[in-house]
């Protein structure tokens, strides 16, 4: 009896052993990693937001020639205008991005972005983009 137990144990062990080894490494998929919804850096998020939300009015390069701008009165200004750049503070730019035009006595066509209130680093990156058009 004793030896047959040992034999069974040996047989089980032999059966089990291969499956106890780590699985052979499968080749990883050549697909690029999945795009995450939120970009990694505030700068990247700001660029994505500008292209997705702002460019329709302000134009991809901030000139104010977006497809939605033609019908607006007043039209969004040219962010490349040095006189305007010198006339506004960083805080004013960041504020209108958060609260929209109407809240600061400007055109209500400039929409508020309440979702960015909790993302000051993204608002700062948008302001930096606008300053960069100068
Ligand atoms: C539906 C069109 C529209 C969209 C979308 C829009 N804007 Fe505007 N924006 C305007 C208009 C029009 C003005 C000018 C308001 C005025 O002069 O009364 C303006 C003004 C501004 C100003 C202030 C310029 C000034 O005259 O002092 C900033 C800064 C600005 N927008 C940034 C942004 C950013 C950043 C986004 C995207 C998050 C954005 N806007 C999205 C239409 C738009």
CA 4 to chain centre: 66
Q: In the CATH hierarchy, which fold is given to the domain comprising 42-132?
A: Cytochrome Bc1 Complex; Chain D, domain 2 (1.10.760)
Q: Please tell me the residue having the least CA distance from ligand 1 atom 25.
A: 77
> How many CB atoms are located within 10 Å of the residue 55 CB?
18
Query: Which pLDDT score is estimated for 38?
Result: 76
For the stretch 56-83, pLDDT in tens is: 999 999 999 999 999 999 999 999 999 9
Name all residues whose Cβ lies below 6 A of ligand 1.
Answer: 49, 53-54, 56-58, 68, 72, 74, 76-77, 88, 93, 96-97, 101, 106-107, 109-111, 113, 126, 130
> What is the reported pLDDT for 25?
59
Q: Where are the domains of the chain?
A: 42-132
Q: How many CB atoms lie within 10 A of CB 126?
A: 26
pLDDT score at 134: 85
Tens-place pLDDT, residues 85-126: 999 999 999 999 999 999 999 999 999 999 999 999 999 999
With residue 47 as reference, give the H or E element that holds it: helix 42-49
Atom of ligand 1 nearest to the CA of 79: 24
Q: What are the tens digits of pLDDT across the range 16-66?
A: 455 555 555 555 556 666 655 778 899 999 999 999 999 999 999 999 999
């Amino acid at each position: 009896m004793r030896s047959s137990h040992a034999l069974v144990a040996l047989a089980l062990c032999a059966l089990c052993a291969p499956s106890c080894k780590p699985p052979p490494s499968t080749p990883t998929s050549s697909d690029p990693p999945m795009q995450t919804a939120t970009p990694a850096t505030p700068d990247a998020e700001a660029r994505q937001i500008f292209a997705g939300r702002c460019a329709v009015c302000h134009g991809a390069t901030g000139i104010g020639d977006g497809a939605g701008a033609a019908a607006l009165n007043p039209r969004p200004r040219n962010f490349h205008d040095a006189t305007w750049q010198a006339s506004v503070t960083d805080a004013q730019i960041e504020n209108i991005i958060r609260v929209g035009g109407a809240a600061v006595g400007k055109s209500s066509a400039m929409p508020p972005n309440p979702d960015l209130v909790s993302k000051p680093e993204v608002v700062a990156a948008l302001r930096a983009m606008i300053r960069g058009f100068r």
